Chain A
Amino acid sequence: MKFTLSWLKDHLDTTATVDEIAEALTDLGLEVEGIENPAAALKDFVLGRVVSAERHPDADKLQICRVDLPGGEDQIICGAPNARQGITVVVARPGTYVPGPDFTIGVGKIRGVESHGMMCSERELGLGDAHEGIIELPSGEVGQSFADWLAENDPSKVDPVIEIAITPNRGDALGIRGIARDLSARGIGKLKPLEVNAVQGGFDCPIGVEIAPDTRDGCPIFAGRLIRGVKNGPSPEWMQDRLRALGLRPISFLVDVTNYVTYDLNRPLHVFDADKVAGNLRVHRAKGGESFAALDEKSYTLDHGMIVISDDNGVESLAGIMGGMDTSVTEETTNVFVESALWNPVQIALTGRALRIHSDARQRFERGIDTDFVTTGLQIAVRMIVDHAGGEASKMAIAGATPDNSRAYRFDPKAVTKLVGMDIPVKEQRQTLDRLGFRLDDGMAHVPAWRSDIQGEADLVEEVARVASLSKLKGVPLPRPEGVAQPMLTPMQARLAKARRTTAALGYDECVTYSFIDAEAAALFGGGSDATRLENPISSEMSHMRPDLLPGLLRAAARNQARGTSDLALFEAGHVFFGGEPGEQRLAVAGLLTGRTGPKDVHGASRPVDLFDAKADAEAVLASMGAPAKVQILRGAEGWWHPGRHGRICLGPKKVLGVFGELHPKVLSALDVKGPAVAFVLFPEEVPLPRQNGNARPAFTPPTLQPVERDFAFVVDAQVEALTLVNAAAGADKALISDVRVFDQFQGGSLGEGRKSVAITVRLQPTDKTLTEKEIEAVGAKIVEKVAKATGGELRG
């Protein structure tokens, strides 16, 4: 919402400066977004008088002028035909910035003759379109600032324009009078009384008005007057200037009046060319399917239930949003029907949104305007029209009646202290409400009809507090809970924080990628269904909620690889989505390794990453989250993993703590990632919470006897899993065997096709007496037996 200082002063008697006003507005909740002060841009231009003008010796259209300026005469070359002796001109001297052509004047030579400045046209100063010649002023002294001259002689040209943001509750500030009222409540001036001088109606309105019975809830009142014999045409200069300052385009006087009253008093109006209206005007709901040609030169198809105004020819206006082309007012209009009505805000919002029409009228009606001001606003507009464009006004045609929106809330002066924590004298509180238009009566505050947003006692507190200024609020300590602060993170939050820091400590860089990804990538990871699709994605790259963290990491890897970085360790911790209902999300931590373990190095440590890197990191991160060390490694994870090179880390067949492995080559090529690429995905919520057994650890009882280690090598089928073999060996004597480790594996060679050798170290930990060689041999034999039974393997000779 824009307004000018002089226009504000129509309603507000004040001597405050632009800066004081702007500061107060922002503090009141009408945040100033910008101030344009044309005087500031013109302050360097000075008045001069042309002493002589002679033809330039080398150019037909240029003149060499001697110009009287403060500090003496100077020479200026000028191409304007009206440059001549004796006229008072506006001069930009060297160093002055000229806004129109956007440059700073310097001393120049034009066709060999020096020029010390420029005499300006209106366009060069950004004051208008005139550029046929330079400005000739009818008055003014040499050396006077042009900005000062304008302020004295043509103030609208230097009228400061203030733009404010309007929060959805403050529809009343969409009229300049409403802004003035807020300022008056703050004490920045006094609100002037609004003068209404209605024109007497000389005849009955020939256009009747009516509201269909089923539309009364959408239009409580509809009023209008017809004015016969008006002379339309351009608006007076002052009105055009004001509308232009607000960014509006003057059209014709009759139309400009409606815009003027809209911005001045927050009372949107509409004018019909009465000669184009067939019969009476009727407010009713659209059946649906009607076509309507609106003033924005677009055609709209109406939905059932939208409120429209029709005559005998059909729909002529989209009520409260935009008028129609067929009955529009033109320069030739002589008989005009001026409409003023009230429309249901919700209906306006729904219709406006459905048809995607943004208009000044819609903006105001959907926020709620002054419900008591329908006929008064009409009288003000008719007075303006008759005074300037002549004509004879009819009596008022009216359907419906002003609705009763009166309401009052208990005004408790102590409420401000209780809720806000500010002490404001009762007298000041009452004065604030009074100045804002509330009527105080017996402890009740009656709400003015223009404040539809006031809906309770808390709103009264807000009004009092904001006018008193929240900037005066002083902080008061919030009492802390007694004693040492309690732990505030949930176990899952704490767990995720640990997982995140552990993964970073393992050398991964944390990414935060978007929660929505493209359909193709989502589909590769079991997502991309309609359940997780966005109805209005910002682009096709962000159409589906991610089913997994890996696609985001892989896309990130591809982007980094395209930039020439191929050795990557990326991770993310966050939610993934398995459905479209609230709560259909789960926590995940994913890490991705691509390329080599590091750059080529002098120690020869660098090698391509493989799944055992991912496995080691997965185990470390799981351990940080308190997962048990003893897990099952099962196969059979989803299809985006390499079918033979992945493992699910499980506690039982259904409890999957995570997956590690190589990614499927097809997935990599679909996402443009160069391999090798290995990854892990962990599910923190699946890790069992620790039992609540206090903090004490079990007693430390180190064994007193030396452990004994024995190595065994078994030849087994190549598909036999090492873990099966290890578990079998460990089961040979659970009391005695404290650890079994695989330390070697090789395949093929002398073993023959499809066979491999797995070597293990078994650690025996005696507890009560040292083992004899015989006892050790007995355990060894049992291990060989158990392994043979479990794997079919035999001891390698």
Chain B
Amino acid sequence: MDDLRDRYLGLIAEAGDEAGIEDLRVRALGKKGEISGLMKTLGGMTPEERQEKGPKLNALKDEIASALAARKASLADAALEKRLEAEWLDVTLPARPTRTGTIHPISQVTEEIVAIFADMGFSAAEGPQIESDWYNFDALNIPGHHPARAEMDTFYTHRATGDNRPPHVLRTHTSPVQIRSMEENGAPIRIICPGRVYRADYDQTHTPMFHQVEGLAIGTDITMANLKWVLEEFLSAFFGKPVKTRFRASHFPFTEPSAEVDIQCSWQDGTVKVGEGDDWLEVLGSGMVHPKVLRNAKIDPEKYQGFAFGLGIDRLAMLKYGIPDLRAFFESDLRWLKHYGFAALDVPTLRG
């Protein structure tokens, strides 16, 4: 029996593949196998003989079976290893291509602005881009002959012959949205009005279309000091650092008193940095809403007062993200879009 054992263990160790193992299994443990044959002789043995040979034979059978299994597993491991070796790939090859899109800086910055004002309790209002001259001018205390009206470089829409109404205009600011919102919702009110505006001007720093966000807050005791706070809070949140403002007296027909607002900045090698230095940069116009404008929007100026301001979204985008040329915003040069655009899921939030 020991011979048998040694012979089979030797053969198993020498087996080179799975077929060889199977062949040995059949020869040893198959129905007509050698060991199976010996097992069968147990039946013809005396109980004593059986007592003695039985366990030995069983042990032999188990030993051979587990040797077969072990050899089989190690052969399988070797085969797998060989296969995996052959499956080597050049992982430095480029990945399967996917397209990556971008969000335009105008959209991104608009959302940034909206997020900040949402926190201060302002809603976003929108309105028509083609406007009547009432909403764009008269309601805002800019009568027909007013020099401010001539200075606006307004686009007018065509009127058919026989149509004697004054032409409509492409809104020169988003202020008409303020009037419409006040008419619709009355006071108190807090809104911002982002959107496209139009002026007939084209040079390095002007495009015939640009984007504005105006703000309006009307209540019973809202003051210009509140305006200054709101603007400083907004600008600091927007630029991500404390930004000081300077109010300068100015004039807009729709506010009284009116102020131009400068923000603190520094100039280095022709680039401007906001929130540092000793220079001032004019960025927005503002003031306390003119009583006539409130009256035009059906709000009682004896009871309510408040502020309005307007600033350029494109301009803020240029300042914050260091974009030099306004005209490029609207040229859709893919290289520019990829360079200045934002990732799709880079949604502005205040929580960071």
Chain A residues near B (Cβ < 8 Å) = 26-29, 31, 167-170, 345-346, 349-350, 353, 366-367, 418-422, 456, 458-459, 461-462, 465-466, 469-471, 473-478, 480-481, 485, 488-490, 493, 497, 500-516, 530-538, 542, 545, 552-553, 556, 559-560, 563, 565, 568-571, 573-575, 577, 580-585, 597-599, 601-603, 605-606
Cα A477 to Cα B257 in complex, Å, equals 19
Q: Given A476-B223, A503-B101, A538-B202, A530 and B256 touching (CB < 8 A)?
A: no
Is there contact, CB below 8 Å, between B102 and A510? yes
Chain B residues near A (Cβ < 8 Å) = 93-94, 96-104, 106-107, 111, 114, 117-124, 126, 128-132, 135, 145-148, 150-151, 155-160, 167-168, 170, 196, 198, 200-202, 208-209, 217, 221-226, 228-230, 232, 246-251, 253, 256-260, 288, 290-291, 305, 329-335, 337-338, 341, 343-345, 347
Is there contact, CB below 8 Å, between A582 and B135? yes
Cα A601 to Cα B95 in complex, Å, equals 9
Cα A367 to Cα B146 in complex, Å, equals 8
Chain B residues near A512 (CB-CB < 8 A): 104, 106-107, 329-330, 332
Is there contact, CB below 8 Å, between B129 and A580? no
Is there contact, CB below 8 Å, between B230 and A505? no
CB-based nearest B residue for A480: B121
Chain B residues near A542 (CB-CB < 8 A): 208
Is there contact, CB below 8 Å, between A471 and B103? no
Is there contact, CB below 8 Å, between A536 and B200? yes
Is there contact, CB below 8 Å, between B288 and A419? yes
Cα A453 to Cα B93 in complex, Å, equals 74
B interface secondary structure, majority: mixed
Chain A residues near B120 (CB-CB < 8 A): 478, 480
Is there contact, CB below 8 Å, between A534 and B156? yes
CB-based nearest A residue for B305: A419
Is there contact, CB below 8 Å, between A582 and B168? yes
Is there contact, CB below 8 Å, between A509 and B156? no
Is there contact, CB below 8 Å, between A507 and B250? no
Is there contact, CB below 8 Å, between B96 and A534? no
Is there contact, CB below 8 Å, between B156 and A536? yes
Known: A475-B229, A531-B158, A563-B333. 5 other contacts (CB 8 A): A497-B111, A504-B344, A515-B209, A559-B331, A597-B99
Cα A382 to Cα B253 in complex, Å, equals 38
Q: Given A533-B157, A534-B157, A458 and B200 touching (CB < 8 A)?
A: no
CB-based nearest A residue for B147: A168
Is there contact, CB below 8 Å, between A509 and B337? yes
Chain B residues near A501 (CB-CB < 8 A): 103, 344-345, 347
Is there contact, CB below 8 Å, between B128 and A585? yes
Is there contact, CB below 8 Å, between A476 and B225? yes
Q: Given A420-B223, A510-B102, A505 and B345 touching (CB < 8 A)?
A: yes
Chain B residues near A565 (CB-CB < 8 A): 334-335
Cβ-neighbour of A31 out of B208, B248, B330 (below 8 A): B248
Cβ-neighbour of A538 out of B128, B200, B225, B291 (below 8 A): B200
Is there contact, CB below 8 Å, between A169 and B251? yes
Is there contact, CB below 8 Å, between B250 and A29? yes
Chain B residues near A553 (CB-CB < 8 A): 332
Is there contact, CB below 8 Å, between A537 and B330? no
Is there contact, CB below 8 Å, between A456 and B291? yes
Is there contact, CB below 8 Å, between A515 and B334? no
Is there contact, CB below 8 Å, between B97 and A511? no
Cα A172 to Cα B22 in complex, Å, equals 113
| B71 to A: closest C-beta gap in Å | 40
Q: Given A466-B257, A476-B223, A582-B130, A509 and B341 touching (CB < 8 A)?
A: yes
Chain B residues near A461 (CB-CB < 8 A): 256-257
Cα A420 to Cα B146 in complex, Å, equals 26
Chain B residues near A167 (CB-CB < 8 A): 250-251
| A93 to B: closest C-beta gap in Å | 31
CB-based nearest A residue for B176: A582
Chain B residues near A349 (CB-CB < 8 A): 145-147, 150
Q: Given A465-B249, A569-B101, A598-B99, A478 and B157 touching (CB < 8 A)?
A: no
Q: Given A421-B224, A476-B229, A580 and B168 touching (CB < 8 A)?
A: yes
Is there contact, CB below 8 Å, between A488 and B123? yes
Cα A419 to Cα B305 in complex, Å, equals 8
Cα A471 to Cα B247 in complex, Å, equals 5
Is there contact, CB below 8 Å, between B248 and A585? no
| B230 to A: closest C-beta gap in Å | 5
CB-based nearest A residue for B111: A497
Is there contact, CB below 8 Å, between A462 and B228? no
Q: Given A501-B103, A598-B99, A475 and B130 touching (CB < 8 A)?
A: no
Is there contact, CB below 8 Å, between B129 and A575? yes
| B227 to A: closest C-beta gap in Å | 8
Cα A563 to Cα B338 in complex, Å, equals 15
Chain A residues near B223 (CB-CB < 8 A): 418-421, 476
Cβ-neighbour of A477 out of B226, B259, B329 (below 8 A): B226
| A469 to B: closest C-beta gap in Å | 8
CB-based nearest A residue for B97: A598
Q: Given A473-B225, A565-B334, A420 and B257 touching (CB < 8 A)?
A: yes
Cα A545 to Cα B155 in complex, Å, equals 11
Chain B residues near A485 (CB-CB < 8 A): 118-119, 121
Cβ-neighbour of A458 out of B111, B256, B334 (below 8 A): B256
Q: Given A470-B249, A485-B118, A534-B156, A582 and B288 touching (CB < 8 A)?
A: no
CB-based nearest B residue for A599: B97
Cα A511 to Cα B106 in complex, Å, equals 10
Cα A462 to Cα B253 in complex, Å, equals 13
Residue of B97, B102, B221 ringed by the most chain A CB atoms within 10 A: B97
Cα A542 to Cα B147 in complex, Å, equals 26
CB-based nearest B residue for A561: B334
Is there contact, CB below 8 Å, between B170 and A500? no
Cα A345 to Cα B94 in complex, Å, equals 73
Residue of B102, B130, B228 ringed by the most chain A CB atoms within 10 A: B130
Q: Given A462-B258, A478-B120, A481-B121, A535 and B159 touching (CB < 8 A)?
A: yes
CB-based nearest B residue for A469: B249
CB-based nearest B residue for A567: B99
| A418 to B: closest C-beta gap in Å | 7
Chain A residues near B329 (CB-CB < 8 A): 512
Is there contact, CB below 8 Å, between A478 and B130? no
CB-based nearest B residue for A583: B128
Cβ-neighbour of A560 out of B147, B155, B253, B332 (below 8 A): B332
Is there contact, CB below 8 Å, between A353 and B132? no
- Which 5 residue pairs spanning A and B have beta carbons closest together? A507-B99, A421-B225, A466-B249, A421-B223, A475-B229
Is there contact, CB below 8 Å, between A538 and B130? no
Q: Given A461-B256, A506-B99, A419 and B224 touching (CB < 8 A)?
A: yes
Chain A residues near B229 (CB-CB < 8 A): 475-478
Q: Given A501-B347, A537-B155, A577-B130, A488 and B334 touching (CB < 8 A)?
A: no
Q: Given A26-B248, A568-B334, A489 and B168 touching (CB < 8 A)?
A: no
Is there contact, CB below 8 Å, between A536 and B155? yes
CB-based nearest B residue for A503: B101
Chain B residues near A531 (CB-CB < 8 A): 158
Is there contact, CB below 8 Å, between B257 and A475? no
Is there contact, CB below 8 Å, between B96 and A605? yes
